[in-house]
Amino acid sequence: MKRILLSVLAVATMATAYAQQRKVAGNLKADPAITVRTCGTAELPLEYETWLANKMQEPSANRIQTVYTIPVVIHVIHNGSAVGTSYNISDAQVLSQIDVLNEDYRRLNADTASTPSAYLPVAADCEINFCLAQRDPNGNATTGIDRINRNSKGWSAPPYTMTYIDNTIKPGSIWDPTQYMNIWVVPDYTSSGFQLLGHATFPLNSGLTGLTGNYGNATNDGVVIYYKAFGRTGNLDPLYNKGRTATHEIGHWLGLRHIWGDANCGNDYVSDTPTQQTANYGGQSIPYPCPGFPQVTCNNGPNGDMWMNYMDYCYDKCLNMFTAGQKARMVTAMQNGTYRSPLTTSLGCQAPTGGGPVAQFTANTTSIAPGGSVNFTDQSTGSPTSWSWTFQGGSPGTSTAQNPSNIVYAAAGTYDVTLTVTNGQGSNTMTKTDYITVTQGGGGGCDTLANFDVATSTPTIYTAQSGGYVAGQNGYGDISKADIFTNNTANAFVDQAIIVFGVGASSGTGHTANANVWNDASGLPGTIIGTKTVTYDAIAADVTAQLPTIIDFSPNVNLPIGNFYVGMNFDYHAGDTLAIVTNLDGETVPGTAYEEWGQGGGWYAYSDASNSWGLDLAHAIFPVVCTSTGLSEVLTPGNTLVVYPNPSASGNFNFIVPQHNIKDNVLVRVYDMKGAVVFNQSIASNGNGIYQLSLPNADKGIYMLEVQTNNGVKTQRITVK
């Protein structure tokens, strides 16, 4: 996306600045681990180029144009950690990479507008699609995600070398490469001492003899990607967080060379890519900019290097195109490669027929008063013919109905629900742990909504090119920042807002900002329906103490059914500064962050690339929403505790329990991943609703925090690093 930068405005004019288009300048809180793209794929020999050139010149009748769909299996190599933690990346991260490939290879990527106009005539839809495998080599149903605990294979602990991956991990896990493209997502790995982002094997043709090179074979064919450069959601390196490493390496897998030909003014054997001197990278310090255009080398003016090509080495945000010539090479590989052409007839993308069902269900509410009832709805797939439910703490305690209703829960507590579905092909069971919460006190319930996932998001402060901060005061004169949430429950209200500020400074003159709740007006924040003043002194003190800021709305803010927004509105005063923590671009897709411009400029989503930043972000804003009738499932977030900092290097954590009486003592238990209790005692609030947990002797690793309150049990994964 091309965005015009405004000139930097003086501090005295910040309050009246009016932004037309803006651009992120850098990321102060998440410095990238790798600032130079490193690809371990070797060079192709000249013999391959001679053979390929002949194939590409064959009569067009021998090269039928088609759209290819490649079945993909993702081998996730991990160390035994839970799914979604450490090397064992989440399903969402895997799916995000498949989405990127289908966009990049069909030229459906959102940043096609950033392709220079001079190169638009050769920018190509490569007509190659990718799907996660739906059947495994034995014909059984699969998700296409093959999670492998390296301990179960006897493999050594990471970090790995490229040689170890190619000679040990690949042969021990590969699926038939004539039926699947194999991708291994791996921990840190190196070659010749250099950290790698990825490497791939080239397409082998069985009719070609006398060739040597890094060609794939039956035990190693495929692509390897570093887990922090895979996909566009999850714990990613901030410079390689848009999934373009896999786009690049699969280009090699389909026969493409690096665009500079791996030589000074070298040859990539593609006629519509310019000769260029060497690899392009981008700036090596904040804000890590893309190269300028044109970048003229090797007498390739006036347009210069095609550094935005996926086969160059620039940062993910800079890459956006393949050419028609590169497409022709990849199509030739698909038609002739030993491990490429059979993929066109693979059944890997087709689910097996007659498979067993997969259990899934939902409830009309998950938080009720003692004596309340719950209705359950079966959402299983695979055509089950019978259902067996178990309701811990419910009455009746079992059911064989497809959609059981009026399950009554008499006593306060949290309860599991289990569903087993069966048909003639087999059965499947799903248990949702602590799914139903029965609260004390007449049925009221409170919970914390979250777009910013405390467990997996990377706390980040983005700076603005104009000066100041993307999620705070800046040279564009923004006056409000907010996140969108949804309420589907009658009689719900906002009791509190918990906001994590990454920047807070006070002039000491008593100035204030406002925490607001807005209703929805045509998909943007509308009228303020609740507000609370907070001082810059309080914000600055919380930032210094590394604590979130708790805002009590009094009176409570009654919510409409539908969308609402929570955030901050602020003025500009010398010495007073604030900025809200966000996650990294792409960790929340679609983004949930919005901003209001000064001078009546209106509201815009951060993801609006034409008017705003073009970033998919979530603010660290957590509204505490309560209801007297119980919370519906769609209102209940993934995280019910706000824990900060998480992870913690010292073992010291602060956490907030969303409930009406947050000054009560709470019983806290901490379990390690083997289920052993490492902490068990009552903790008192420090007076403002924040509880402090200290685990100074805990080993590094992942733990489960369990907090017993008057309103039930709350849990959250925490990490000591």
Domain CATH for 126: 3.40.390.10
Quick check: is 356 in a domain?
no
187 is a domain residue = yes
Q: Looking at residue 710, what is its pLDDT?
A: 58
Query: Is position 57 within any domain?
Result: no
Q: Structural domain of residue 306, as residue ranges? A: 31-51+68-345
First to last CA, the chain: 37
pLDDT of 442 strictly over 50? no
Residue 361 placed within a domain: no
Give start and end residues of each alpha helix (H) in 499-568. 536-544
According to the model, what pLDDT value does residue 440 have? 52
pLDDT score, position 423: 87
Q: Look at residues 595, 616, 636 and tell me which one is the last residue of a structural domain.
A: 636
DSSP 8-state secondary structure symbol assigned to residue 321: B
pLDDT at 228 over 70: yes
C-alpha count within 13 angstroms, C-beta hemisphere, residue 456 = 27
Say whether both 290 and 331 belong to one domain: yes
Q: What would the mean pLDDT of 103-119 be, rounded to a whole number?
A: 94
Looking at the structure, tell me whether residues 35 and 20 fall in a common domain: no
Is 358 part of a structural domain of the chain?
no
As a three-state string, the secondary structure of 155-196 is CCCCCEEHHHHHHHHCCCCCCCCCCCEEEEEECCEEECCEEC
Domain total for the chain?
4
As beta bridge partners, residue 376 has 363
Calculate the dihedral angle through the C-alpha atoms of 396, 400, 406, 412, rounding to the nearest 10 degrees: 50
CATH number of residue 392's parent domain: 2.60.40.10
Q: Is the pLDDT score of 150 beyond 50?
A: yes
Does residue 128 sit in helix, strand or coil? strand
Tell me: do 139 and 288 sit in the same domain: yes
Write the pLDDT tens digit of every residue in 522-547. 999 999 999 999 999 999 998 887 77
Give the type of residue at 259. I
Rounded to whole angstroms, how far apart are CA atoms 498 and 493?
15
328 vs 285, which has greater pLDDT? 328
Does 496 or 637 have the greater pLDDT score?
496
What confidence score (pLDDT) does residue 370 get?
A: 72
Query: Are residues 576 and 453 both part of a single domain?
Result: yes
Do 476 and 548 have their domain in common? yes
Indicate which residues carry an active-site annotation: 249
Same domain, 247 and 127: yes
Which of residues 584, 618, 636 is at a domain's end? Answer: 636
pLDDT tens, residue by residue, 181-207: 999 999 999 888 788 999 999 887 633
CATH code (residue 690): 2.60.40.3080
Find the mean pLDDT for residues 313-329.
Answer: 94
711 and 610 share one domain: no
Lowest mean pLDDT: which of 71-85, 179-193, 433-447?
433-447
User: How do residues 569-601 score in pLDDT, each as one tens digit?
Assistant: 999 999 999 999 998 988 888 899 999 998 788
Check whether residue 488 and residue 554 sit in a common domain: yes
Helices then strands (H, E): number in the chain?
Answer: 7, 40
Q: Looking at per-residue confidence, does 719 or 602 come out higher?
A: 602
- What values do phi and psi take at 38, rounded to 5? -125, 115
Q: Is residue 364 part of a domain?
A: no
The residue with greater pLDDT, 264 or 644, is: 264
pLDDT at 653: 81
The pLDDT tens digits of the residues spanning 14-34 come to 222 222 234 433 332 334 555
The answer as to whether 56 is a domain residue is no
Percent of the chain surpassing pLDDT 70? 81
How far apart, in whole angstroms, are the C-alpha atoms of residue 551 and residue 547? 13
152 plus 195 within the same structural domain:
yes
* Whether 574 and 667 share a structural domain: no
Q: Does any domain span residue 264?
A: yes
Which of 438, 468, 485 terminates a domain? The answer is 438
Domain match, 419 and 455 both: no
Q: Would the pLDDT of 709 be above 80?
A: no
Same domain, 20 and 45: no
Residue 284: CA count within 13 A, CB half-sphere: 4
